[in-house]
Amino acid sequence: MTIKFRFAAPLALALGLAVSSLAVSTPPAKASGGDTPHLQEWSFAGFLGQYDKDQLRRGFKVFQTVCVSCHTLDKVAFRNLAEPGGPELPLDEVQQIAAGWPIQVKDINDKGDPIERAPRLADRFPSQYPNEEAARVMHNGALPPDQSVIAKARTFQRGFPWWVTDIFTQYNENGVDYIVALLNGYEDAPEGFKVPDGSFYNKYFPGHIIGMAPPLADGLITYGDGTPETQFQYSKDVAAFLMWAAEPTLDVRKRIGWYVLGFLVIFAGLLYATKWTVWRQVKGHA
Amino acid sequence: MSGHSSYQPRTGIERWLDTRLPIVRMIYDQFVAFPVPKNINYAYAFGAILAVFLIVQIVSGVVLAMHYIPHETMAFASIEHIMRDVNYGWLIRYIHMNGASFFFFAVYVHTFRGMYYGSYKEPREILWILGVIILILMMATAFMGYVLPWGQMSFWGATVITNLFSAIPFIGDPIVTWLWGGYAVGNPTLTRFYSLHYLLPFVIVGVVILHVWALHVTGQTNPDNVDPKTPDDTVHFTPFALTKDAFAIGLCFIAFAWFVFYVPNYLGHADNYVPANPGVTPAHIVPEWYLLPFYAILRAVPDKLGGVIAMFGALIVLIFLPWLDGSKVKSAAYRPWYRVFFWIFVADCIFLGWLGAMPAEGIYPTLSQVGTAWYFAHFFIIIPALGYFEKPKPLPESISEAVRLRHERPSLYARLMNR
Amino acid sequence: MASSDTAESTRRDFLYVATAAMGAVGVAAVAWPFIHQMNPDAATIAAGAPIDLDLSPVAEGQIIRVFWRGKPIFVRHRTPKEIADEQNTDLASLIDPAPDSARVKPGKEQWLVVYASCTHLGCIPLGHQGDWGGWFCPCHGSAYDTAGRVRRGPAPLNLPLPPYEFVENTKIRIGAGASA
C-alpha cells in the first residue's frame, strides 16, 4: 500500500487545494474597494437549502414597489412567478399582476401598427427604457443594472481559509450577502471623502460612490403578515427574490442532487466491492 | 504489447465478421485481453477518467449547441434561456461548465503522473508528444468555449488572449485583425469561435485515438520501472484495470456531482454573469483557474513578445522532455533526487497558478519571475543534470518480484527504497 | 470445499450483476435529461397560450390564415350554398366520413376553423380550388371540400380541427382548453 499512495494521494490533494485556491483567490472585480459584507442566514443555503416561498413573495413585493422604478428584470417572465420553486403565486393573481404592470410591452397589432399593450404571462418583464443611452441620460450617467442575474454577478473576496471550506460548506451566497450589505450600507462619507452631487456614499460599494439613492426605509412597504417592516427585512427579502430570479432552478437542482449523490455513493461502494473481488485473484493484491 | 491475437471467434457470425471487419478481435485484443502491469496504482486511472470526461463534454456540448445562439446580441440571453426554460438546461450547462474544470484537473494529474513515472521516455516519445498536442488543443477549445456566453470575462478574455498575437513582429497586427474578423472582438469573432469550439473536440478525439494506439503499441509504464517480462507480471485489462478505473471514475463523479449540484458557480467568475460591454473592462481580468500558471508566466516577462514566447514556450518545452532527460531509469520511485525536484516542480506550477490570479503589481511580478525561472530551470538545468549525477536505487528483477517484496518483506523493501 | 466455492461464486456473480445493473440504471437516469431537453421548452409552451381572433372583418366566402403554436390555421366564412351542399353530402362517399355538423360549432355553421396542413405530408392546400371547391393541395393533388373533408387522396384524413370556442358572437379563442 505504501507505494500505491506515494504518488496519487499527495498529488490529488495538492492539485485539489490548488484548484480551489486559484478559483477563489481571484480578486473579485465588483467588491474591491468596498468593505466585506456580513454573512446572513438564508433558507436556500447549504445541502438541504430551499427557497422560502413567503420570503420570495415579500421580496417580489419590495421589487415591485421600489426597484422596478429604475431597474429592469428582462430575463424573468411573469409566468415564472407562478411556477414551482419560486414565489408560487396563484396563476390568476399573476395574470392580474401582468395586466396591471406599470410598464407596457411593445408589440405590433393586426394592421401592422406598433402598439403598447399590457404584458401577458409568457412575456418577460418589459424594460422601461428604449435603450441603454436613454437609461443613462435618465440616471445622471449611471446605468441601473438589469436585476435578472445580479445575485450571481456580484461577489466579494472570502479570503483564506474560507475559500477552502466554502467547497465543503457549500457557501454560495456571496451575491445575496453583498446585496443585503449594499442596501444597508449607506452612511455619511468619512471626513474629507468627496462625494459628487447626485451620488451617495456606500460602505460596501466598490469605490464607495454609488449612483443609486438609498432605496429602502423602515415602513416603506406593508407586508400585513406580521413580518417586521424594517429596512433590513426588506433588503433580505428582496435579495432572496433576486437570488431566485438569478437561479430559479435552485430548489430542483438541490433536490436532484440528493438522489444523485446518494446513488453515486452506493454505486461507488459496489464498484469498490467489485474491484476488490476481482483483484483478490491477483497475487500480492488484496 | 501488440503481439499476436488471442481472440477465438466462437459463433458462425463472429467468424463471418472476423474475416471481413475484425472489429470484435480488435476490441478483444485491445480492451479485454490487453496486458496491463499488475502493479499500476490509481494515478493510472486518470487516462480512463479523461476519456469519460471527453465524452461528457462532447455530449453535453452537442446538446447545448441545440439551444445556444452565437450572436453578440443574443448569446448571453440564450444562455439564460438554457438556464431557465430548456428542460434540464441548467443541469446540462452546469455539467459542461464544471466538466471543463474536471477535465483539466484530470489532465494535469495525468501529465504529472507521466512525468513522475517517466512515461515520456523511450520508447514512448510519440505517445507523450501526442499527449502534449491534446493538452494544447484542450486549452484552445476551453478558451474559445469560455468566450461563448458573451459575458464580461468572455469578451475581455478574448480581447486579451487574441492580442497576444499582436506581439509577433511585422505581421502581428494583421493577424489579430484576421482573428477578430473586424477591428475589435465582435460578432464575427464570436461566430468563428463557436464554429471552432464545436470542431476542436472532434480533433481531440482523433488525436486521442492516436494516443491510445501509441499506448497500446508500447504498453503502459508502471511504478516499479521494469517492463513486464512474464505473463505473471500483467493482468488483463478486463476485468482488472476496468474495475479499478470504474471505481476511480465513480469517486470522481461524486466530486463532480458535488460541484454541479451544490457549488456550480464556485469555479467560475461572477463577472461572466454581466453581459459583455466593450466600453468597460472589469477591474481584474483573469482566465479560468486551469490557465493561470501560463498567465503568470506571460506576465512575468516585462517584454511583450518575450512574455508571449515564454508562455507558449512553457507548453512547447514539454515536447522536448524525452530528450532533455538522460536518465535511463523511468520511475521516480527509484530516483531519489528526481522525486524531490518533481514535487518542487508541482509546487512551482501551483505557485504560478496562485500568482496568475494575483494583480500584476507589488511583489507579485517579482515572485512570478522567480516561479517562471524555476519552471524553465527544471527542464533545462535540473532534469539534464540529474541524468548525469543522480544515483538511482536498485531496480527490482521484475514486477512480480517488487510486488512480492512489498507484501512479504515490507521492512526489507522499505530499507531498500530508503537507502 | 466444492460447495463453499459455489456459494462464493454465486455471491460474486450477484455482486457483478448488482453493480452492472446499478450502472445501467445510472446511465438510463442520465439519459433522460438529455432526451427531455429536446421537448418544447417552458418559453415555447408559455407562448402557446390561447389567442383571440375577431371574425367580424372576414367577409362571406373569404378564407383567412392565422398562426397558433407555429401552425397555420384556416378560418373560412362559408356561404349558405356551401353549407347546404356539405350538409347534404352522402357520408358513404367520403374517405374519412364525418357529418358537416361535426366540423363546425352548432349555430355557427358559417365558420369553419381547420388546421391548414394537408393530412398527407403537411403542405398548405390552396383555398377555393379543386373539384369540390374547398381546398386543393398543390404538392400531391389531394382535394378537400368546404367542410375541410378529404374527397380525393392521397391524403387519408380530413383537415384536423384545432381546439377553439366562441367567446362572443364573432370572436373565437383558438387553443381554449388545449393541453400544454
- In chain B, residues with a C-beta closer than 8 Å to the C-beta of C42 are 84-87
Q: What is the pLDDT of residues B354-394, one digit of tens each?
A: 999 888 888 999 999 999 999 999 999 999 999 999 999 88
> Which residue does chain C place closest to A123, by CA atoms?
C47
Is C67 in the same domain as C112? yes
> Please, what is the average pLDDT of chain A?
88
Question: Most A CBs within 10 Å: which of C10, C11, C14, C15, as the mutation test of the A interface?
Answer: C15
Instruction: Give pLDDT, residue A164.
Output: 86
Instruction: Give pLDDT, residue A27.
Output: 43
B397 at C interface, C-beta within 8 A: no
> Please, what is the average pLDDT of chain B?
93
Range of the domain at C140: 47-174
First to last CA, chain A: 10
Instruction: Give pLDDT, residue B413.
Output: 77
pLDDT at B3 over 50: yes
Does the domain at residues B30-285 carry the CATH identifier 1.20.810.10?
yes
Domain ranges of chain B: 30-285, 287-392
Q: What percent of chain B has pLDDT over 90?
A: 82
Question: Most A CBs within 10 Å: which of C15, C16, C19, C25, as the mutation test of the A interface?
Answer: C19
pLDDT at B70 over 70: yes
Is C56 in the same domain as C125? yes
Is C26 in the same domain as C71? no
| ipTM computed for the complex | 0.92
- In chain A, residues with a C-beta closer than 8 Å to the C-beta of B333 are 3, 6-7
CATH class of A34-248: mainly alpha
Confidence of residue A111 (pLDDT cuts 50, 70, 90): confident
Is C62 in the same domain as C109? yes
Instruction: Give pLDDT, residue A16.
Output: 64
Domain assignment present for C5 = no
Is C28 in the same domain as C74? no
Decide if C140 is catalytic: yes
Q: What is the pLDDT of residues A127-182, one digit of tens each?
A: 999 888 899 888 888 889 999 999 999 998 888 788 889 999 999 999 999 999 99
The answer to whether the annotation marks A38 as part of a ligand binding site is no
A157 at B interface, C-beta within 8 A: no
Instruction: Give pLDDT, residue C61.
Output: 87
Question: Most B CBs within 10 Å: which of A5, A11, A131, as the mutation test of the B interface?
Answer: A11
A253 membership: H or E segment, kind and range? helix A250-279
Domain ranges of chain A: 34-248, 250-286
First to last CA, chain B: 33
Buried-exposed string C31-50: b where 16+ CB fall within 10 A, e elsewhere: eebbeebeebbbbebbbbeb
Instruction: Give pLDDT, residue C153.
Output: 82
- In chain A, residues with a C-beta closer than 8 Å to the C-beta of B43 are 7-8, 11
pLDDT at A25 over 80: no
Domain assignment present for C179 = no
Query: Which CATH number characterizes residue C139's domain?
Result: 2.102.10.10
Given C15, C19, C49, which is nearest A120 (Cβ)? C49
Q: What pTM, to 2 d.p., does this model score?
A: 0.92
Overall average pLDDT of the C76-82 stretch: 90
Confidence of residue A9 (pLDDT cuts 50, 70, 90): low
- In chain A, residues with a C-beta closer than 8 Å to the C-beta of B84 are 75-76, 80, 248-249
Buried-exposed string C149-169: b where 16+ CB fall within 10 A, e elsewhere: bbbbeebeebbebbebeeeee
SS (H, E, C) chain B: CCCCCCCCCCCHHHHHHHCCCCHHHHHHHHHCCCEEECCCCHHHHHHHHHHHHHHHHHHHHHHHHCCCCCCCCCHHHHHHHHHHCCCCHHHHHHHHHHHHHHHHHHHHHHHHHHHHCCCCCCCCHHHHHHHHHHHHHHHHHHHHHHHCCCEHHHHHHHHHHHHHHHHCCCCHHHHHHHHHCCCCCCHHHHHHHHHHHHHHHHHHHHHHHHHHHHHHHHCCCCCCCCCCCCHHHEEEHHHHHHHHHHHHHHHHHHHHHHHHHHCCCCCCCHHHHCECCCCCCCCCCCCCHHHHHHHHHHHHCCCHHHHHHHHHHHHHHHHHHHHHCCCCCCCHHHCHHHHHHHHHHHHHHHHHHHHHHCCCCCCHHHHHHHHHHHHHHHHHHHHHHHHHHCCCCCCCCCHHHHHHHHHHCHHHHHHHHCC
Given C12, C19, C49, which is nearest A122 (Cβ)? C49
> Given strand C171-174, what is the order of strands in its sheet?
C51-54, C171-174, C164-168
What residues 117-146 of chain A have any CB closer than 8 A to a CB of chain C?
120-122
pLDDT at C134 over 50: yes
- Compare B2 and A218 and report the one with higher pLDDT: A218
Domain assignment present for C180 = no
> Which residue does chain C place closest to B64, by CA atoms?
C37
A67 secondary structure, DSSP code: G
Overall average pLDDT of the A272-276 stretch: 95
Is C167 in the same domain as C98? yes
Instruction: Give pLDDT, residue A205.
Output: 92
- What's the gap in Å between the CA of B290 and the closest CA on chain A? 8
Domain assignment present for C2 = no
Q: What is the pLDDT of residues B27-51, one digit of tens each?
A: 999 999 999 999 999 999 999 999 9
Total domains, chain C: 2
Cβ C41–B87 below 8 Å, yes or no?
yes
With CA atoms as reference, report the closest residue to B110 among A271, A8, A17, A275: A8
Q: What is the pLDDT of residues B176-197, one digit of tens each?
A: 999 999 999 999 999 999 999 9
The answer to whether the annotation marks A212 as part of a ligand binding site is yes
pLDDT at A30 over 80: no
Of the candidate ranges A79-83, B1-5, B161-165, C20-24, the one whose mean pLDDT is the lowest: B1-5
Residue pairs between chains B and C whose CB atoms are closer than 8 Å: 35
- What's the gap in Å between the CA of C35 and the closest CA on chain B? 9
> Which residue does chain C place closest to A76, by CA atoms?
C43
Q: What is the pLDDT of residues C92-128, one digit of tens each?
A: 888 999 888 889 988 888 899 999 999 999 999 998 9
With CA atoms as reference, report the closest residue to B117 among B129, B128, B103, B102: B128
For the domain B287-392, what is the CATH code?
1.10.287.980
pLDDT at A32 over 80: no
Instruction: Give pLDDT, residue B419.
Output: 56
- What's the gap in Å between the CA of A122 and the closest CA on chain C? 5
- In chain C, residues with a C-beta closer than 8 Å to the C-beta of A273 are 15, 19
pLDDT at A28 over 50: no
